[in-house]
């Protein structure tokens, strides 16, 4: 829920300043009720979180997994020219830059936009700078608009239109009629789809901390499978392109993986079931994974400084992971594969109250700070050009009411029907579903990332800065 806002006008967002503000909130809700602090990966946020970890032994800092994945996509789609290691990715950067060049070339002139609208009922997307995976979203939309774009440049109006920049017009036409260029666009969308899917799955306030470790492993394997299938290589063969992509993803994983991820992963009963272990060759249960075990034990020592409590929680976890003690009955073992983690602990964790309490606490945790950041769209909705005299306290009160009414609306019978669903579907920027393209009405909810915004001719983009 939205607790409050801080007016930081004129303040330097040093780590000490951010830590001070976060600590005041932790104290107000009670340190014992706080499991983790999730921020983006900026140095000042990380520094503030380390200060909090030193002050509170049981609280962890967790980097926002959505930011981490977005940075990985940025490394892939916007590689630096002076980095020799990324030389094999420059074709991706060139393709993405061409897509945005074509989009801007059409949108920035009324005549060209009019020609485009004759062939397409869909609109180009205005993707805010703060949106995640904006490059991939635009590539996806270009594939949807391919036929309309091609028909536009081969039409009579395009050939008879006198353009001042003849070279750019010719470049746009050459790109749109180049099958090889379209193949590149499709390939980029294809091999980044697992990354994009994981980003969308984590870009909510739903509990998913216990899924992140396995999602990273599965995502990397899916990326490899798509690249090797495109290159027509066997799994045991070398691929220079995949090695570059893997290095980026692995580096980002090392910077974002925390002991809390591993502990939450270890407390998911499904990951010990034979059904899950048999899905992928050489897959092992969490208690047999060396990295997960080391991180988990680190968590136990941090959360249970008392030696007697530590021994108790270790014994209970040993029974849980080895199907011993009260977890040895057949029903408990069979239910691991079919019940949701929290349901399973509610059914079978009564005799290990300490471990059950810890599991339920971690299985209810999100893994990103995206939901907090979406309050900025609410601020933009409330503090607009026509209402720019609002004082910060008044704006904070309005955002508090607006954001938390969104949360409470989930318990309403009309949540999935009736006119009030519109604010859940489109948030504060809701316009119309006509021309929404690849997004479907029935699949949207309050938890869906607000990735797309329809661009009209008289619409101006909005951007802003943020502090978490």
Domain ranges of the chain: 15-73+204-265+272-362
Report d(CA 356, CA 326) in Å as an integer: 12
Instruction: Identify the pLDDT of residue 129.
Output: 52
Greatest CA separation for the chain: 84
Contact between residue 446 and residue 452 where contact means Cβ atoms under 8 Å apart:
no
The 3-state DSSP class for residue 454 equals strand
From CA 131, how far away is CA 133, in angstroms rounded? 7
Q: Which residues contact 83 (CB under 8 A, 6 or more apart)?
A: none
Note whether 39 and 49 are within 8 A (CB): yes
Q: What is the CA radius of gyration of the chain?
A: 25
Spatial distance between the Cα atoms of 295 and 257, rounded to a whole number of angstroms: 10
**β-bridge partners, 39:** 63
| Rama region for 393: left / alpha / beta (φ>0; ψ in -120 to 50; rest) | alpha
The pLDDT assigned to 459 comes to 32
Element (H, E) at 151: helix 146-154
DSSP structural state of residue 297: H
- What is 5-51 written as a DSSP string? ----TT----HHHHHHHHHHHHHHH-GGG--EEEE-S-HHHHHHHHH
pLDDT of residue 125: 66
State the Cα–Cα distance between residues 24 and 91, nearest whole angstrom: 48
Q: Is 444 helix (H, G, I), strand (E, B) or coil?
A: coil
Q: Which residues, in sequence order, are CB contacts of 368 under 8 Å at separation 6+? A: 38, 64, 65, 66, 67, 202, 203, 204
Q: What is each CA distance from 230 to 183, 188, 207, 241, 316, in whole angstroms? A: 11, 11, 34, 11, 47
Looking at residue 81, what DSSP letter applies?
T
Tell me the C-alpha distance between 308 and 286, whole Å.
24
Are 102 and 89 in contact by the 8 Å Cβ rule? The answer is: no
Closest listed residue to residue 244, CA positions, set 72, 81, 66, 96: 72
The residues that bridge with 63 in the sheet, in sequence order, are 39
Q: Which residues of 145-176 are buried (b: 16+ CB within 10 A; e: fewer)?
A: beeebebbbeeeebeeeeeeeeeebeebbebb
List the pLDDT tens digit at each of the 468 positions of the chain: 888 888 888 899 999 999 999 999 999 999 999 999 999 888 999 999 999 999 998 999 999 999 999 999 999 998 877 665 677 899 999 999 999 999 888 888 778 888 888 888 877 766 655 456 788 888 998 999 999 999 998 888 887 776 667 788 888 899 999 999 999 999 999 999 999 999 988 887 788 999 999 999 999 999 999 999 999 999 889 999 999 999 999 999 998 899 999 999 999 999 999 999 999 888 999 999 999 999 999 999 999 999 999 999 999 999 999 999 999 999 999 999 999 999 999 999 999 999 999 999 999 999 988 878 777 777 777 777 666 777 888 888 888 888 888 777 777 776 666 555 544 433 434 333 333 333 332 233 333 333 333 322 333 333 333 333
SS3 63: strand
Q: What is the pLDDT of residue 450?
A: 37
CA distance 250 to 59: 26
In whole angstroms, give the CA distance from residue 361 to residue 29.
16
- Cβ proximity of 70 and 248 under 8 Å: no
What is the Cα–Cα distance from 46 to 32, expressed in whole angstroms? 21
Q: For residue 417, what pLDDT is reported?
A: 65
Give which of 395, 382, 390, 396 is closest to 2, Cα–Cα: 396
């Amino acid at each position: 829920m939205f607790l409050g806002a801080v007016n930081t006008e004129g303040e330097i967002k040093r780590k000490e300043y951010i830590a001070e503000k976060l600590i005041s909130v932790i104290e107000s809700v009670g340190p014992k009720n706080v499991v983790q602090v999730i921020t983006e990966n900026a140095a000042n946020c990380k520094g503030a979180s380390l200060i909090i970890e030193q002050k509170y032994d049981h609280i962890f800092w967790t980097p926002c997994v959505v930011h981490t994945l977005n940075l990985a996509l940025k490394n892939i789609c916007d590689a630096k020219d002076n980095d020799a290691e990324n030389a094999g990715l420059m074709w991706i950067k060139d393709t993405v830059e061409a897509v945005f060049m074509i989009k801007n070339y059409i949108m920035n002139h009324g005549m060209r936009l009019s020609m485009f609208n004759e062939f397409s009922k869909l609109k180009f997307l205005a993707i805010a700078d703060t949106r995640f995976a904006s490059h991939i979203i635009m590539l996806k939309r270009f594939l949807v608009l391919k036929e309309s774009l091609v028909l536009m440049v081969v039409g009579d109006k395009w050939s008879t239109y006198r353009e001042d920049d003849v070279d750019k017009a010719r470049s746009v036409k050459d790109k749109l009629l180049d099958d090889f260029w379209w193949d590149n666009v499709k390939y980029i969308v294809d091999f980044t789809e697992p990354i994009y899917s994981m980003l969308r799955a984590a870009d909510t306030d739903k509990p998913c901390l216990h899924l992140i470790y396995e999602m990273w492993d599965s995502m990397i394997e899916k990326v490899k499978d798509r690249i090797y299938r495109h290159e027509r290589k066997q799994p045991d063969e070398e691929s220079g392109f995949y090695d570059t992509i893997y290095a980026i993803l692995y580096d980002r994983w090392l910077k974002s993986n925390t002991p809390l991820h591993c502990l939450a992963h270890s407390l998911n009963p499904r990951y010990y079931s034979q059904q899950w272990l048999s899905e992928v060759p050489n897959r092992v249960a969490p208690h047999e994974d060396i990295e997960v075990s080391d991180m988990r034990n680190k968590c136990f020592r941090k959360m249970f400084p008392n030696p007697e409590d530590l021994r108790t929680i270790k014994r209970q976890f040993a029974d849980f992971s080895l199907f011993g003690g009260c977890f040895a009955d057949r029903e408990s073992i069979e239910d691991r594969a079919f019940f949701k983690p929290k349901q399973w602990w509610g059914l079978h964790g009564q005799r290990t109250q300490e471990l059950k309490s810890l599991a339920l606490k971690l299985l209810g945790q999100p893994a990103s700070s995206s939901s907090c950041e979406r309050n900025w769209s609410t601020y933009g909705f409330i503090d607009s050009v026509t209402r720019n005299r609002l004082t910060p306290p008044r704006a904070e009160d309005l955002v508090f009411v607006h954001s938390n009414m969104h949360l409470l609306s989930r318990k309403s019978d009309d949540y999935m029907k009736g006119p009030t669903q519109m604010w859940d579907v489109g948030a504060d920027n809701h316009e119309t579903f006509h021309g929404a393209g690849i997004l479907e009405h029935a699949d949207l909810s309050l938890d869906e990332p607000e990735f797309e915004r329809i661009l009209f001719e008289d619409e101006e983009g909005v951007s802003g800065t943020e502090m978490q």
